[in-house]
């Protein structure tokens, strides 16, 4: 598959530049900018200017900290009804690496995370595997559940009660009733939008065999979470065949949904990496400059949303993303690998702390719920289920970040 990244646009000179300086100033002042003017500005500005603006916007609201979440990655089941052209996470029932954990195995992992100072239990599954595999339906029935969402709800309850870790579920495009069943046990949800481009579902494209990745389905899930006042993390996968214009459209769509509901706490900007054995094994990763442009644009468009780039997908160069305006590194685990990208180990906390400090910031641990939802009384009462407050409040300081004495060691 040939990727179209639509790289650097020429910097506009002459009388037109004054028009863009006005747009830039409006962005700095956090004034509303017409989406067409905003798109034109982002298309025509050079990368250096965009990064300067994105860092300025980040520093205006968060001048000190870059955060991360200390987590245990619970790979509950890695069977999936979809087949994305770039994915190695999905397994078939007869695969030696297929995983279907029991509740006792999940709790053992959560307890290991608790001992090492984790605060997040990230529960990850494939997309509705029970709709495709009899093997999964039998597994669920043997455990006493009708479907995967019932199992997740019960496991989340057990994790919360027995370990105090805060569940954060990423099980794909859940419907509203499924989300509602998780709200009393999960402080937040995760679901990657990946792209609003319908082209990527066409024959030969990245999502051809992934019906759950049809943009309107993912957007509906984001809206349902908003209607439930359920904090959610979403994100884009960059370099899977989209154009830069489509990246901007995806970011603007996220921003418009968040303006209505205020529940999108974080956007992950993830760079595509080709994987052996997939249909896109010989596709190219996005260029570094293109990815930086996308990251900087995310910060500029999503003024009130946290921006994350996973450091393990860009070893040795990830600190550059701080210059592009990010304020978070995502989940880092002292217990489990990144099961979605197992070939990419996380940096150690010591390495991450040094890279962050060298860029002029302090690394701090956060919960799977961002600080603004914890320290702002209006947000707290709106977005946090009452029974979860007693689990959250003992863990955080006045900044809404994890108390520094909670984590007694680094790795």
Q: How many Cβ atoms are within 10 Å of 219's Cβ, its own excluded?
A: 18
- In the three-class reduction of DSSP (H, G, I as helix; E, B as strand; rest coil), residue 134 is classed as helix
Q: pLDDT (tens digit, 9 = 90+) per residue, 276-314?
A: 999 999 999 999 999 999 999 999 999 999 999 999 999
Q: Does the residue 400 lie in any domain? A: no
Could you give the CA distance from residue 266 to residue 361 in angstroms, rounded to a whole number?
A: 19
Looking at residue 18, what is its pLDDT? 59
Q: Does the residue 401 lie in any domain? A: no
Half-sphere exposure for 127 (CA within 13 Å, toward CB): 19
**Mean confidence (pLDDT) of the chain:** 94
Position 7 pLDDT exceeds 80? no
The domain total for the chain is: 1
Specify which residues 72 forms β-bridges with. Answer: 121
Under a CB-based contact definition with an 8 Å cutoff, are residues 42 and 248 in contact?
yes
| Per-residue confidence band for 65, with pLDDT thresholds at 50, 70 and 90 | very high
Q: Does the residue 50 lie in any domain? A: no
* % the chain with pLDDT above 70: 94
Looking at residue 14, what is its pLDDT? 36
Q: pLDDT (tens digit, 9 = 90+) per residue, 291-300?
A: 999 999 999 9
Q: Does the residue 20 lie in any domain? A: no
Q: Does the residue 268 lie in any domain? A: yes
Could you give the CA distance from residue 339 to residue 327 in angstroms, rounded to a whole number?
A: 23
Looking at residue 292, what is its pLDDT? 98
| Per-residue confidence band for 384, with pLDDT thresholds at 50, 70 and 90 | very high
Query: Which H or E element spans position 372?
Result: helix 371-375
Looking at residue 15, what is its pLDDT? 39
What CATH number does the domain containing 93 carry?
3.20.20.70
Residue 72 Cα to chain centre, angstroms: 15
Nearest CA among 201, 269, 196, 275 for reference residue 237: 269
pTM (two decimals): 0.94
Q: Does the residue 21 lie in any domain? A: no
Q: Does the residue 22 lie in any domain? A: no
Q: Show the domain range for 385.
A: 60-395
Could you give the CA distance from residue 104 to residue 106 in angstroms, rounded to a whole number?
A: 5
Looking at residue 10, what is its pLDDT? 33
397 class by beta-carbon count within 10 Å (0-12 exposed, 13-18 middle, 19+ buried): middle
Q: Does the residue 409 lie in any domain? A: no
Looking at residue 369, what is its pLDDT? 98
């Amino acid at each position: 598959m040939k990727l179209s990244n639509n790289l650097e646009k020429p910097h506009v000179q002459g009388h037109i530049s004054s028009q863009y300086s006005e747009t830039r100033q409006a962005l700095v002042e956090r004034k509303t900018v017409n989406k067409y003017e905003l798109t034109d500005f982002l298309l025509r500005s050079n990368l250096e200017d965009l990064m300067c603006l994105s860092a300025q916007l980040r520093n205006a609201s968060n001048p000190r900290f870059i955060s991360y979440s200390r987590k245990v990655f619970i790979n509950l089941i890695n069977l999936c009804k979809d087949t994305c052209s770039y994915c190695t996470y999905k397994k078939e029932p007869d695969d030696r690496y297929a995983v279907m954990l029991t509740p006792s195995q999940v709790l053992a992992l959560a307890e290991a995370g608790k001992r090492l100072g984790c605060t997040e239990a990230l529960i990850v599954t494939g997309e509705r595997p029970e709709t495709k595999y009899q093997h999964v339906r039998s597994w669920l029935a043997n455990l006493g559940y009708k479907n995967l969402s019932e199992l997740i709800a019960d496991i989340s309850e057990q994790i919360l009660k027995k370990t105090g870790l805060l569940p954060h579920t990423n099980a794909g495009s859940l419907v509203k009733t499924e989300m509602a069943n998780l709200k009393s046990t999960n402080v937040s949800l995760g679901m990657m939008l990946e792209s609003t481009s319908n082209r990527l579902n066409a024959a030969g494209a990245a999502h051809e065999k992934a019906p759950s990745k049809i943009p309107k389905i993912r957007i509906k899930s984001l809206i349902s979470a908003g209607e439930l006042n359920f904090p959610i993390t979403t994100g884009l996968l960059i370099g899977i065949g989209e154009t830069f214009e489509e990246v901007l459209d995806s970011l603007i769509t996220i921003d418009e949904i968040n303006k209505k509901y205020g529940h999108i706490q974080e956007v992950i900007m993830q760079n595509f990496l080709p994987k052996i054995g997939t249909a896109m094994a010989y596709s190219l990763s996005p260029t570094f400059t293109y990815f930086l442009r996308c990251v900087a644009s995310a910060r500029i468009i999503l003024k009130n949303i946290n921006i994350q780039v996973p450091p393990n997908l860009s070893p040795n160069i990830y600190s550059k993303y701080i210059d592009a305006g990010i304020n978070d590194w995502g989940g880092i685990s002292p217990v489990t690998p990144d099961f979605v990208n197992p070939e990419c180990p996380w940096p150690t906390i010591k390495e991450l702390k040094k890279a962050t400090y060298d860029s002029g910031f302090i690394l701090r641990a956060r919960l799977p719920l961002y600080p603004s939802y914890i320290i702002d009384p209006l947000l707290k009462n709106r977005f946090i289920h009452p029974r979860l407050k007693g689990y959250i409040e003992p863990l955080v300081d006045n900044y809404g970040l994890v108390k520094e004495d909670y984590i007694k060691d680094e790795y």
